[in-house]
Amino acid sequence: MKQVRIAMLGSGFVADFYMQGLANVNGQQVVVNYSRSEKHAQQFARRWKIPQASTSLHDVFCRDDIDLFIIALPNEAHLAVSLELARRKRHQVCTKPLARNRREAKKMWDAARKSGCLHGYAETEVFSPCVVKARELIERGGIGKVLWVRSRESHSGPHSPHFWDIEKTGGGAMNDLACHCIEAARYFFGKEDRVVEVMAWADTLVHRDKTKGEDNALLVLKFSSGGIAHCELSWTTKGGLDLRNEIHGSEGSIFTDVTRSTPITSFSMKPAGYVVEKAELDVGWTRPLPEEAFAYGYQAEMRHFVECVREGIPPRETYEDGYIVNTILDAGYRSVRTKRWVRVEY
């Protein structure tokens, strides 16, 4: 088995999850990690036993022994890093959302496509085992024609300060969370069934002192088949990450719930440590989630991208998908401003 050598660009929250996912993937090694902070770079390398840490993107880019670059950086860094990797004709995978807006995403997609190299969109939701199983049931005709999808992604707020700055990120809760729900809906309906119109509401209900962006939003997607997807997004939900899907068809329904229907329920009078992503408390009744990286889809997506590099085949989630998601998000924000249905122009 050819070993795929990886450069991890980033040392924060999502990079940690990517490393957890890669831990169970055979035939790969993260040989270098990058961070803008020397302290964070070294800490990350020690924690994950990575041979080299760097604070120089140029030095990492110049290495000729890297098979795959994983962009796990803040949103504002995606465009420049991706364009440079495309210029150097290197395989790349980027975290969600692909970019801060449709225009940036289009530049990334065009450049990566012209490079002739692999480009993978790291959208964990559609690699989550329960979501993949739901799609298998749909493909077998288990619920007939998909008519309506409800998808919820919510928690009490971002883990890093830069997420609150919409100039750096591209938007608030809708931008941060709806990318998951949009891609889940596209996956359940089938990508040939395009989103043609959107309607959205967004407001800042709690965190007015932290952000100029929305901390709650609703986004409705109308598909070319006439189907509807309803996306619920929140940065004000207590109790840890709430991640659910409902898929309703002409012959049945499917429900997925990764974080609120865990196989473990615990009651503790003393702090018990980490429970689940974004949980505020670790005492009282809690629902710890075992193997988070597996349950969320990090392990499956990382294995998929590594195998695609090794076998020289395109991933099932590419920068084209990331561009489509950014295009739908942009239409959603136009709907918020105009308070009308907005046609999605690809």
Return the CATH number at 215.
3.30.360.10
3-state secondary structure of 193: coil
User: What does DSSP assign to residue 343?
Assistant: E
- State both tokens at 5: 């050598």
Q: How many domains does the chain fold into?
A: 2
In contact, 328 and 96? CB cutoff 8 Å: no
Together in a domain, 144 and 292: yes
CB atoms within 10 A of CB 77: 16
Together in a domain, 266 and 334: yes
Together in a domain, 165 and 291: yes
In contact, 288 and 277? CB cutoff 8 Å: no
27 Ramachandran zone, left/alpha/beta (phi>0; psi -120 to 50): left
- State both tokens at 317: 């989630």
Q: What is the pTM of this model?
A: 0.94
Strands 195-203 and 342-343, bridge-based pairing: antiparallel
In contact, 178 and 258? CB cutoff 8 Å: no
Together in a domain, 154 and 273: yes
Tens-digit pLDDT string for the chain (346 aa)? 789 999 999 999 999 999 999 998 999 999 999 999 999 999 999 999 999 999 999 999 999 999 999 999 999 999 999 999 999 999 999 999 999 999 999 999 999 999 999 999 999 999 999 999 999 999 999 999 999 999 999 999 998 888 999 999 999 999 999 999 999 999 999 999 999 999 999 999 999 999 999 999 999 999 999 999 999 999 999 988 899 999 999 999 999 999 888 888 888 888 878 877 777 878 888 887 888 899 999 999 999 999 999 999 999 999 999 999 999 999 999 999 999 999 999 9
Question: What is the residue range of 21's domain?
Answer: 4-124+298-316
The set of residues, in sequence order, having a beta carbon less than 8 Å from that of 21 and lying 6+ positions away, is 293, 294, 298, 299, 300, 301, 302, 303
Q: Is residue 321 one of the residues assigned to a domain?
A: no
Q: 238 — phi, psi (to 5°)?
A: -90, 160
Together in a domain, 40 and 161: no
Q: Is residue 22 one of the residues assigned to a domain?
A: yes
Instruction: Write b or e for each residue in 121-136: b if 16 or more Cβ atoms lie within 10 A of its Cβ, otherwise e.
Output: bbbbbbbbbbbeebbe
pLDDT of residue 21: 97
Together in a domain, 224 and 257: yes
Together in a domain, 272 and 305: no
Read off the CATH number of the domain in which 20 is found: 3.40.50.720
Together in a domain, 28 and 118: yes
Site of tokens 């004709």: 89
Together in a domain, 170 and 222: yes
3-state secondary structure of 229: strand
pLDDT of residue 272: 74
CB atoms within 10 A of CB 339: 9
**Whole-number Å distance between alpha carbons of 214 and 198:** 17
Q: 288 — phi, psi (to 5°)?
A: -60, 140
